[in-house]
């Protein structure tokens, strides 16, 4: 049976830019849908499953940051924010609310394609197979299927960058890791001097995992050096059972959002 092509949704209000990007991705073998605003985005997501969301920040009505926050609240679909803004604040806020990556216009379509492929490998087609499960402080973390289960038994969604950072921590528990070393663990992109991405990602992980993010017990700051994962980590091997895709939930939630928008 042939492999289903990945479905990419482009949300961009500029028709010319949207058409060029759509043509480039289709030529690369992707199935592409287009939307000019949030209302159109929710309609597409209500009718079909989406593997990757390319979301422009400057949209009419709800902007890309608001839409990112809403989508991330119900799905772990890959999200790449695209914008003409060069302000670091937007990039940092985008990462804080759950975007996986960020591109500033003008950009080389080949760079977008490379980042999209990298993100899709981690979010859309990960096989569920036997793999190492790391446990710590009541948490269970399957590093092969990207499943993080809380002590209460609830699945905690992780973005690509959050997942990669947590892997770096649990595999080096008790070791002080500098920000530069953690950046190398998270991605292969070229970071700018004084990049705050690691601080942003640590704050997001603390909000998801710590009982009190202001008094962290798992990811502890080593002042002047970096961070250290303070919990004792044990490794076991177990068979992970295939879980139901979150796409059904996205579709149901998207239908509700689309209905709200049409009122």
CB 130 within 8 A of CB 98: no
Interhelix angle 160-170/109-123, nearest 10 degrees: 60
pLDDT of residue 121: 76
pLDDT of residue 190: 46
CB 100 within 8 A of CB 119: yes
Q: At 96, give phi and psi (nearest 5°).
A: -65, -35
pLDDT of residue 149: 93
Long-range contacts of 14-21 (CB under 8 A, 24+ apart): 14/56, 21/54, 21/109, 21/112
Give pLDDT < 50 ranges for the chain: 1-2, 125-131, 188, 190-191, 193, 238-249, 262
pLDDT digits (tens, 9 = 90+) for 178-205: 888 888 777 645 445 456 788 999 999 9
Lookup result for tokens 């070229």: 190
HSE-CB at 192 with a 13 A cutoff on CA atoms is: 6
CA 69 to chain centre: 11
Ordered by where they begin, the domains of the chain are: 7-126+245-262 (3.40.50.2300), 131-238 (1.10.10.10)
pLDDT of residue 36: 94
- Per the DSSP assignment, residues forming a β-bridge with 170 are none
* pTM of this structure: 0.55
- Per the DSSP assignment, residues forming a β-bridge with 71 are none
pLDDT of residue 144: 77
Structure tokens at 91: 């990039």
């Amino acid at each position: 049976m042939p492999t289903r092509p990945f479905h990419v949704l482009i949300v961009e209000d500029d028709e010319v830019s949207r058409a060029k990007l759509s043509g480039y991705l289709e030529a690369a073998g992707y199935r592409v849908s287009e939307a000019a605003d949030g209302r159109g985005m929710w309609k597409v997501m209500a009718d079909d499953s989406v593997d990757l969301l390319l979301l422009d920040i400057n949209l009419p009505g709800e902007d890309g940051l608001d839409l990112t926050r809403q989508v991330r609240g119900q799905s772990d679909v890959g999200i790449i924010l695209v914008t003409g803004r060069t302000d670091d604040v937007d990039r940092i806020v985008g990462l804080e609310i759950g975007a996986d990556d960020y591109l500033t216009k003008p950009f080389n379509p080949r760079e977008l394609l490379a980042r999209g492929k990298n993100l899709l490998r981690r979010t859309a087609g990960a096989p569920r197979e036997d793999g190492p499960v790391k446990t710590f402080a009541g948490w269970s973390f399957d590093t092969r299927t990207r499943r993080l289960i809380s002590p209460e038994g609830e699945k905690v969604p992780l973005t690509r960058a959050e997942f990669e950072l947590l892997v770096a921590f649990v595999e080096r528990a008790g070791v002080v890791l500098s920000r530069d070393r953690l950046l190398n663990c998270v991605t292969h992109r070229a970071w700018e001097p004084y990049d705050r991405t690691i601080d942003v990602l640590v704050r997001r992980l603390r909000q998801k995992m710590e009982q009190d993010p202001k008094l962290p017990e798992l990811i502890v700051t080593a002042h002047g050096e970096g961070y250290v994962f303070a919990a004792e980590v044990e490794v076991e091997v177990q068979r992970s059972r295939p879980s139901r895709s979150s796409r059904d939930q996205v579709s149901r939630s998207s239908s509700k959002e689309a209905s709200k928008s049409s009122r």
